[in-house]
Amino acid sequence: MENIIPEKRNTGNEPTKIWNRVFVSIFIATMVMNLGQQMMNSLVAVYAHSLGATATMVGVIMSMFTVTALLFKVISGPAIDTYNKKYILMGAILTLALAYFGYGISKSVPMLIGVRLIQGAGQAFSATCCLALAADALPTNRFGAGISFFSLAQVVCQAIGPTAGLALVDVFGYNTTFIIGSAIMFFAAIIAMQIKNPYTKTKKFKISLDSIIAKEAILPATILLLLNVAFTVIGSFLIIFASKQGVESNIGLFFTVYALTMLITRPLVGKLSDRFGIVKVIIPAIIMNAAAFVIISLADSLIVFLTAAFVFAFGFGACQPAIQSLAMKCVPKERRGAASSTSYIGNDLGNLIGPLLAGAVIEWFGYVTMWRVMIFPMIIAIVIVLAFRKKFASIEDNFRINAN
């Protein structure tokens, strides 16, 4: 890693180093926010299951936050492109803190659904704003690598968050653990306040289709949608499935192995995508993603689950930042809020469809079949990448040309 140095700017007023002070402050704030999220998100499905929710109802609960996340996307993209992103991020984190506090006092499935809607409102802004802030702080010639490094803020927390959350539940129970998660989010908001991002208001706030959705980024967002249909099933049903397979003890290590492996794969993939182009990187990654789901469907011991986690890190963990980077390369800097919003609309739609579809398949055919059914969205994603490989190459070429 490069040394953290005061930010230097070239004649184009652009950062020259990835690890400049603005980027580092955004990275730290994002990491603390993700710690709270990773601790809490892995517990919601299990808590709902403990309250008597069926597999279908668990899917509904896990998908419900995307309803408000999608609704608030109407204003999140335009707001991020208009106002100081730092203050938008602070408000989003505080909303998430309120949601986690709400989980802590929830005693029924209907209450969980209501609080899940509040969480969606916060998530409409949080990840979108973080990505836009990070993109603004990166040098153009190392953009892909920078986004991959930035994604490590989530990876580090995935290594410890779910395991820590489950450990806290064993000691304090679900409700107190959710309150602890709320406190962590409040701390993240304080850290976000310290971000010294350059900001000058250049336009008025205006809600329009063009300010909400960057049509240039729809294709990457579609791929993210398909991959997230499968990815969200991990958080929604993996722990429950492992318990049914007799592997309840230490299953949190799945997320630890997955995250630790990504500490290697994500920086590597970022460099490879900058050098060889996105198509040559994400097709093998999606294939690995599918292989991980096959392994999970066959898992009957902890070691098999951990093997799946290792493979999964070379799959979704590798291709997600590459696709997000492509979405940001599609638009000029002043429209990165819309591009980030578009990519996360893809994420949110995947988050909505995935648990609902998985829950229904589980009810009809069981868990093993569900894991294998989730491979089909990945196959469609590969077909799209192959069909539009020339368009992706053109986007990357234009990005390099404009940078020079």
What's the rounded Cα separation, in Å, for the pair 80 and 218?
18
Per-residue pLDDT for 403 more than 60? no
Per-residue pLDDT for 82 more than 90? no
Alpha-carbon dihedral angle through residues 301, 305, 311, 317, given to the nearest 10 degrees: -170
DSSP label of 348: H
pTM of the model: 0.68
Confidence of residue 239 (pLDDT cuts 50, 70, 90): confident
Per residue in 225-249, is it b (16+ CB within 10 Å) or e — as a string?
bbbbbbbbbbbbbbbbbbeebebee
Cβ atoms < 10 Å from Cβ of 3? 6
- Helix residue spans in 204-252 (DSSP H): 209-212, 218-244
What is the third-level CATH fold of 21-199+213-403? Answer: Growth Hormone; Chain: A; (1.20.1250)
Cβ atoms < 10 Å from Cβ of 171? 8
- What is the share, in percent, of the chain residues with pLDDT greater than 70? 90
Is 166 in contact with 39 (CB distance < 8 Å)?
Answer: no
Is 55 in contact with 110 (CB distance < 8 Å)?
Answer: no
Summarised one tens digit per residue, pLDDT across range 307-319 is 999 999 888 777 7
Closest CA to 403 of 85, 146, 83: 146
Summarised one tens digit per residue, pLDDT across range 153-209 is 777 787 788 888 888 998 999 999 999 999 999 999 998 888 877 766 666 777 767
* The pLDDT value given to residue 240: 85
Cβ atoms < 10 Å from Cβ of 102? 19
What's the rounded Cα separation, in Å, for the pair 181 and 106?
14
What's the rounded Cα separation, in Å, for the pair 367 and 390?
38
Higher-pLDDT residue of 269 and 84 is 84
Q: Pick left, alpha or beta for residue 138 (phi over 0 → left; psi -120 to 50 → alpha; otherwise beta).
A: beta
- Helix residue spans in 106-173 (DSSP H): 109-123, 126-136, 143-172
Orientation angle between helical segments 126-136 and 316-329, nearest 10 degrees: 70
Residues contacting residue 146 through CB under 8 Å, at least 6 positions apart: 18, 23, 134, 138, 139, 270
* The pLDDT value given to residue 49: 85
* The pLDDT value given to residue 13: 58
What's the rounded Cα separation, in Å, for the pair 116 and 127?
16
Phi, psi at 137, each rounded to 5°: -95, 5
Upper half-sphere CA count for residue 212 (Cβ side, 13 Å): 13
DSSP assignment of 250-289: TTTHHHHHHHHHHHHHHHHHHHHHHHH-SHHHHHHHHHHH
